[in-house]
Amino acid sequence: MKPEAPAYLGLDIGGQTVKGLRLEADGRISLRTVRPTPASKSAAAVLDAAREVVEELLGPGPAAALGAGTPGAVDAAGRIAGEAVNIPGWRGTELGEALAGFARAPARVRNDGNLAAYAEWAARGGRAKALLFVGLGTGIGGGFVEDGRILPGIDDRAVEIGHLIVHYGGRPCACGRSGCVETYASGPSIGKIAAELALKPEWGGSDLAQALRSPGIRADARAVYKAFAKGDELARAVHRIAAEALARAIASALALLAPDTVVLGGGVLAGAGALVEEVAALVPSYVYATACEGCRYERALLGPEAGLLGAALYGASFRLERPGFLELSRAALGQ
């Protein structure tokens, strides 16, 4: 029996879990695995969890390459070059070198937001020449891919779109500044704004406001957009605040990067598809007219596994010529 060709491995290292995926040479995803990020979250413990995931992924056979996504800044050698809030002591970890040793194959490490952007670019089969991805979740991340190349900046820190300031002197952000788009349009921020507005008398007729005034009721983006779908006026006001903040940030990105495709994704979009249309309508108010010409606004094609799929495909991109890579992407992503 002829042995299968070596596979491409993907890792997604986060503060809660370490996820792994095995992508076979024919595009089949043959294995997924996950480990909880160790409670200590020390660099050594997280590396041990990553090693266990890689060893499991190697069970069916060898790897041709490994790609990995991680929070924080990453230098060209795969070394963690900045702090990661959810993994204490992560800075300085020689992650690329360690993963290459675990996999016994070349390893490429990138910031996790950039790999989610890469997966969305690959999912479009090369149709998007210059793609800006904005991921809305607990925070807001982003990435930019032009003709298959990720825009890295220094240490993969480019396109931190969540920390563009859209309201000077606005809501305080965990980054230490105020008015970042993340404080208006991330999942937790949408919930916080709804809870704050619910206490104001002008929203007394809103079902959402009445619910949020009840003891023990916690607001989140899911609740806001569930109410939005029913026409709730408070939910619509919160939606408008989030959409305007996103539109201002994306307008700045259009002026600087000139994408032809803007993709909104992340957990918030699960119930907030209306954000895509609203943002597309608002962006022209915040940027010169020709910046918007020919730019498409789309909802993400991939779900929570975008970064993991992007990691495996990114590793594969260094071993395959472009036609073979696009064929692998189509098979892996169901195109």
Poorest-confidence range of 31-40, 113-122, 162-171, 292-301? 31-40
Q: Mean pLDDT throughout 189-216?
A: 92
Question: Tokens 């939910």 identify what position?
Answer: 235
pLDDT of residue 92: 93
Same topology between domain 7-121+303-332 and domain 126-299: yes
Q: What is the pLDDT of residue 86?
A: 73
**CB neighbours of 126 closer than 8 A, spacing ≥ 6?**
148, 326
Pairing mode of beta strands 7-13, 17-23: antiparallel
Terminal alpha carbon distance of the chain: 29
Beta strands in 71-171 (DSSP E): 107-111, 130-136, 140-146, 149-150
State the CATH class of domain 7-121+303-332.
Answer: alpha beta
pLDDT, residue 199, reads 92
In this model, does residue 283 exceed pLDDT 90? yes
| pLDDT score for 87 | 84
Task: Quick: pLDDT tens for 96-145.
Answer: 999 999 999 999 999 999 999 999 999 998 789 999 999 998 889 999 99
Are the beta carbons of 170 and 182 closer than 8 angstroms? no
Q: Classify residue 199 by burial, with Cβ atoms within 10 Å: 0-12, 13-18, 19+.
A: exposed
Assigned token pair, 105: 């194959």
Q: Mutual orientation of helices 221-229 and 187-198 as an angle, nearest 10°?
A: 70
DSSP codes, 190-241: HHHHHHHHHTSGGGTT-HHHHHHTSTT----HHHHHHHHHTT-HHHHHHHHH
* Residue 335: per-residue pLDDT: 57
For residue 1, what pLDDT band results from cuts at 50, 70 and 90? very low
Say if residue 2's pLDDT is above 50: no
Topology of the domain comprising 126-299: Nucleotidyltransferase; domain 5 (3.30.420)
pLDDT in tens, 45-87: 999 999 999 999 999 999 999 999 998 899 999 999 987 777 8
Average pLDDT over residues 201-218: 88
Asked if the model's pLDDT at residue 3 lies above 60, the reply is no
> Residues of the chain with pLDDT > 90: what percent?
79
The domain spans of the chain are 7-121+303-332, 126-299
Provide the pLDDT for residue 334.
Answer: 78
Name 240's Cβ contacts closer than 8 Å, sequence gap at least 6. 278
Q: Decide if pLDDT at 324 tops 80.
A: yes
At residue 218, the pLDDT reads 81
Average pLDDT, the chain: 92
Q: What span, in angstroms and rounded, lies between the C-alpha atoms of 248 and 225? A: 21
Q: What is the pTM of this model?
A: 0.92
DSSP letters for 167-196: STT-SB-TTS-B-BTHHHHSHHHHHHHHHH
CB contact at 8 A, 27 and 325 = no
Cα separation, 318 vs 325, whole angstroms: 9
